[in-house]
Structure 1
Amino acid sequence: MQTGHSLTDRIEETVIAVLLGLMTMVTFANVVARYLFNSNILWALEVTVFMFGWLVLLGASYAVKKHAHLGVDAILNMVSAPVRRSLALISVACCLVFSLMLLKGAWDYWSVFAELPPTTGRWFPTGFDWNARGQGWYEVQDIPMIAPFRFLEELINYGESYEKIPKAIPYVVLPVSMLLLVIRFVQAAVGILKGDVDRLVASHEVEDELDNVRAQQGEHD
């Protein structure tokens, strides 16, 4: 039976793979249209840019979850386990504060496009500014509106029709990805407190794997 943890892994990996595949397909189709048919898919570039943004932002939180971000652990490897754990907790605390600030900024930027109130406060939310609304009519530049999103015309555009998709759709990845980033750092902190891991970045798993392969080869020789 598949665990919830592996299920979320599968979902995230599938979304990332689909985004990468769609980027490749749209770019290839636009190249074919341009060089073989002397035409152009007008919205291809904008769609590719948005998908790349989604890929990077969603991949950032997934990399935290998998300890796949690059980092320097030379000092961590020189200190004792209790000190290493303390340094890891300080690191994850700094990352968590930073990601919370990013979440606030992402919400404040996206919310006005979705006819939702941004937060007040310079660094951390102190409330909601209910007067800073009214940008739900903002559209992207080239991507045409499609039927599944027509409900947004009543929801955030006061019944007015969209010619292009509203900015609220592609930009929703900003608060979503930053929320995921916060969750991942909280999970990392819990893992460090429980003793499951002792750092945010990956250690020397590749070197360990190579040592295992060499050992197996030595057994067969």
Structure 2
Amino acid sequence: MQTARTFGDRIEETIIAALLGLMTVVTFANVVARYLFNSNILWALELTVFMFGWLVLLGASYAVKKHAHLGVDAIVNMVAPPVRKAMGLFSVGCCLVFSLLLLKGAYDYWAVFAELPPTTGRWFPTGFDWNARGQGWYEVQDIPMVAPLRFLEDLLNYGESYEKIPKAIPYIVLPVSMALLVFRFTQAALRILSGQADRLVASHEVEDDLNEARAGQAQDNGGQN
């Protein structure tokens, strides 16, 4: 089981690192083109915006997995373990409900661009709206269509050619990231139920840094004395 988790970690970390690296490369290339060659990479800005969105949305679920989100636990540390566990379950329950709402909204927004039926129901899905009109012909503003994605023209655009990539491609991160978020909060809930954790997320990086700084200052004062 540990091997599977490590492999999953590497996949997510590689995707996040690749997005950050590509953002840097594209932005740097556009700056070089503008100031050295008096030119411009037309699609660079839009691609960078999309990659930043992917980075944030995928990183949010990964941060839940790694307990990297900041949390305030001043009150949690004051209560007894049973109360602490109940508070943790309440917190993760609220996060699950919220992430499920986000998942529904994200899927419904993306589905029409992918020629898929959005869900019915105001808050939670009650079925699929098979009569909804698809919008697979919608393209992004600047990023040109590439040959490996031409097969999407038959799937989404009734065989018509795309000049730019369809919006279904960059927007797919919306339902995927929200599904990952639901999965991570479910994992957190199971950890709290099983007693492996007593709270949702609480990062103590700042506290650790302060303790290290105090320890270093104490050593310096001791050396001077």
Shift of 1:158: 0.8
Which whole-Å deviations, capped at 9, do the CAs of 1:107-129 have from their partners, x for residues lacking one? Answer: 00000000000000000001111
Q: Is the Cα contact below 8 Å between 1:112 and 1:134 reproduced in 2?
A: yes
Query: Deviation string for 1:144-179 (max 9, x for gaps)?
Result: 000111110011111111000000000000000000
Task: Tell me the equivalent position of 1:115.
Answer: 115
Query: How far, CA to CA, are the matches of 1:128 and 1:54 in structure 2?
Result: 27
Kept after mapping to 2: 8 A contact 1:68/1:201: yes
- Return the offset for 1:43: 0.1
Cross-structure match for 2:44: 44
Aligned match of 2:126: 126
Aligned to 1:180: 180
CA distance in 2, matches of 1:25, 1:132: 40
The answer as to whether partners of 1:96 and 1:182 remain within 8 angstroms in 2 is yes
Structure 1 residues 77 and 139, CA, compared in 2 at 3 Å: closer, same or farther? same
Moved more, 202-211 or 147-156: 202-211
Alpha-carbon distance in 2 for matches of 1:153, 1:179: 26
Paired residues of 2:95 and 2:185 also in contact (CA < 8 A): yes
User: Structure 2 vs 1, CA of residues 46 and 212 (structure 1 numbering), >3 Å: closer, same or farther?
Assistant: closer
User: Paired residues, what number?
Assistant: 218
For the Cα contact (< 8 Å) 1:73–1:203, is it kept in 2?
no
Q: Deviations over 1:5-38 (max 9, x none)?
A: 0110111011000000000000000000000100
Which residue number corresponds to residue 140 of structure 1?
140
The code of the aligned residue for 1:144 comes to: P
Residue 204 of structure 1: CA displacement? 3.0
Distance in 2 (CA, whole Å) between partners of 1:134 and 1:202 is 42
| Contact 2:70–2:201 (Cα < 8 Å) also in 1 | yes
1:43-90: CA deviation from partner (whole Å, max 9, x where unpaired): 000000000000000000001111111121111011011110100000
Q: CA deviation at 1:207?
A: 4.3
Which residue number in structure 1 is paired with residue 78 of structure 2? 78
For 2:202, the aligned partner's letter is A
Residue 112 of structure 2 aligns to a residue whose secondary structure is: helix
Percent identity between matched residues is 81
1:59 equivalent in structure 2 = 59
One-letter amino acid of the counterpart of residue 108, structure 2: D
Please name the residue that 2:11 is paired with: 11
Deviation of 1:202 after TM superposition, in Å, equals 2.5
Partner residue, 1:194? 194
Please say if residues 84 and 199 of structure 2, whose CA atoms lie closer than 8 Å, have aligned partners that are also in contact. Answer: yes
Structure 1 stretches of 5 or more lacking a match? Answer: none
Which residue number corresponds to residue 102 of structure 1? 102
- Provide the aligned C-alpha RMSD in A: 2.1
- Structure 2: tracts of 5 or more residues without a match: none
Q: Which residue of 2 aligns with 1:153?
A: 153
